[in-house]
A and B are shown apart, each in its own frame.
Chain A
Amino acid sequence: MEEKKTLLEIKDLEVIYQTDEATVHAVNRINFSLNEKETIGLVGETGAGKTTTALTVLRLLPERTGRIKGGQVLFRGENLLDKSVAEMRRVRGAEISIIFQDPMTALNPALTVGDQVLESLEIHNTAGKSRQELNARVDELFNLVGIPAERKTEYPHQFSGGMKQRIVIAIALACAPQLLIADEPTTALDVTIQAQVLKLMENLKEELGTSMIIITHDLGVVAETCDKVAIMYAGEIVETGTAEDIFNGKEHHPYTVGLFNAIPNLDEKEERLRPIDGLMPDPANLPKGCKFGPRCPHFTEACGIEMPYIYKEKEHRIMCNLFKKEAADE
């Protein structure tokens, strides 16, 4: 096996949203890294901070409210948070691309889809390619995502949701980025289309050798596509590891256990699903100590006071005091 090179490394990243009403702690000191040609799945409920993490990597947080409080986003060893606006523009779309959740609104209704794909190419046309070459590349991209190139003169409203998502993918891949962030790329699509789009992304990833961050709340998607998984809860990564660790490992964070229990299982005959009790805490008013504490079946007094212990086993990390006891026992 060839040596893996680290592509993206996020260190102690902390992001808040500052509004007139409250300070929302969206991302709280998270760490993870991603190697070249690897895919990581960011899993969690709505509001866990997944999208915020993605937007931070591209520095696309809402200008007025979003604030990066600390940490680093190292992309090929360079901290993206130190880059100037102009430098950042050269990264966006060219080296790191993003696919947003809702294809219905992600495309500009007033421009033809071809122009929107072309726009990406034009912005990053450092090689000074001619118009014809760029247009040829647009055709190529359309074919790549499985849309006849003749349709590039049509407008977004003439396409179905799945087709639009393909166009969004074409835009994201236009400049052959090294990292592709897919923010719930299939959530807004029909189940049958979901599978198609996932397959397409998987194929393209193989073909182009792109690394990927897949943001999702669907563990099924993760199982199909990811090498690594990070489980997010209330702005923290509570458990991270290889897909193997998460799906077949012995030790898990109670939240991860809860997530798996909430999936219907066809093999076991159970009358009801077992949901996790309670709600995610208000990110403007997080509990002290372990954020999952109030909902955790293994809650102890210590959990309400100190930050949880971090269990380590190779690449597998779990933020939970359960394992502290074991560590002490051993």
Chain B
Amino acid sequence: MSKDKEIVKAEQSKVKKKSRAQETWRRFKKNKLAVFGMILFFIILLVTILADVIVSYDVSVTQVASERLQGPSASHWFGTDNYGRDLFARIVHGARNSLLVGFGSVIIGVTIGGLLGAVCGYLGGRFDAIVMRILDSIMCIPSAMLALAIVAALGTSLWNVLMAMTISSVPRYCRIIRSSVLGVTGQTYIEAAHSCGTPDFQIILKHVLPNAIGPIIVESTMAVGSAIISAAGISFVGMGIQPPAPEWGAMLNEAKTYMTMYPYMVLFPGLAIGFTALSMNLMGDGLRDALDPKLKN
């Protein structure tokens, strides 16, 4: 009899053990919007990777005087710009820049901000107070202006835009990650680990990170979307990646002059930015609900 019960108990705990990642994925799959976002993202990713297969880079930068400002047609799906460049090719090849800046700045920013935030949150005390003071002050500088100033100082290139985006966003990531680490370190199970004499680094690795990582992933996913928008904004005001290199924001900057006569020049780059950001936001939203189903009911 009691043996049977042991088995029952073991099986119950096995059911519970179905890993959190699996559980999250199962719930994520159920969310239609999130899955739509994911499919959208994979399409964009595929286009980015296969850009050269879809249409050669040369097409995106070659100026054809005879084909200036042509509306969308069979030969130019998205039309051509004022230099006669094919907009479809420019958008396909521009994806790489946007995704690079978006993901690059968030990954680097979150890593730096995360390390700093985790250390601050975990150590607390004077160190934490000073770092937070400094970061709060920097956050008073409008981040768009900070990024613009950095790009101006470093020069306008893809890497400098990436760097500017990263630097101007580190304080925010640091704050977010610190607060989620603080949320976890306050928990009783951390105290329990302390009382067992578990060394600090092991607590951070085994208890703090796994439990704080959920919100961080969610925030990062959404941040990629807004980083792509911000980077496009920098290019839009003429400070980012410079033409003839294809970049969505810069394309909008060029289109501005012609927007009343040739609205398609505005339409397609904007849709490209929007759908890319949308895919990230939908996934981020879905992830949040999947990680914390309590929020949904």
Contacts and interface: CB of A to CB of B under 8 A. Distances in A.
A143 interface: no
B3 to A, nearest CB: 12
A62 B294 CA distance: 14
A294 B30 contact: no
B8 A278 contact: yes
B187 interface: no
B297 A277 contact: no
B12 interface: yes
A279 B12 CA distance: 10
Interface string A295-318: 100010000000000000000000
Interface in B238-297: 293, 297
- Range of interface residues on A (Cβ < 8 Å): 10 to 19
Contact of A278 (B9, B30, B297): B9
A299 B5 CA distance: 13
A interface secondary structure, majority:
loop
Contacts of B5: 277-278, 294-295
Interface in B1-29: 1-2, 5, 8-9, 12
Interface in A257-283: 277-279
A277 B2 contact: yes
A279 B2 CA distance: 13
Contacts of A278: 5, 8-9
Contacts of B293: 21
B interface secondary structure, majority:
helix
A20 B12 CA distance: 21
A105 to B, nearest CB: 16
Interface string A17-55: 001110000000000000000000000000000000000
A294 B293 CA distance: 30
B1 to A, nearest CB: 8
A98 B141 CA distance: 52
Contacts of B1: 299
B9 A64 contact: no
Contacts of A294: 5, 8
Of A62, A278, A295, most B-chain CB atoms within 10 Å: A278
A65 interface: yes
A189 to B, nearest CB: 20
Given A64-B297, A277-B2, A20 B8 contact: no
A299 B30 CA distance: 40
Nearest to A299: B1
A65 B8 contact: no
Contacts of A21: 293
A185 B118 CA distance: 40
B8 A19 contact: no
Given A278-B8, A278-B9, A279-B12, A20 B2 contact: no
Contacts of B8: 278, 294
B12 A65 contact: no
A20 B9 CA distance: 26
A181 B297 CA distance: 26
A267 to B, nearest CB: 29
A277 B293 CA distance: 31
A19 to B, nearest CB: 7
Interface in A53-68: 62, 64-65
A99 B138 CA distance: 49
A294 B8 CA distance: 9
Nearest to B296: A20
A19 B297 CA distance: 8
A21 B297 CA distance: 11
Nearest to A21: B293
B297 A65 contact: yes
B222 to A, nearest CB: 24
Contacts of A65: 297
Contacts of A20: 30
Contacts of B30: 20
A299 B2 CA distance: 12
A21 B30 CA distance: 10
Nearest to A282: B12
A134 B9 CA distance: 57
Nearest 6 A-B pairs (CB), nearest first? A278-B5, A277-B5, A65-B297, A294-B8, A19-B297, A64-B297
Given A65-B297, A277-B2, 15 more contacts: A19-B297, A20-B30, A21-B293, A62-B297, A64-B297, A277-B5, A278-B5, A278-B8, A278-B9, A279-B9, A279-B12, A294-B5, A294-B8, A295-B5, A299-B1
11 contacts: A21-B293, A62-B297, A65-B297, A277-B2, A277-B5, A278-B8, A279-B9, A279-B12, A294-B5, A295-B5, A299-B1
Interface of B: 1-2, 5, 8-9, 12, 30, 293, 297
Interface of A: 19-21, 62, 64-65, 277-279, 294-295, 299
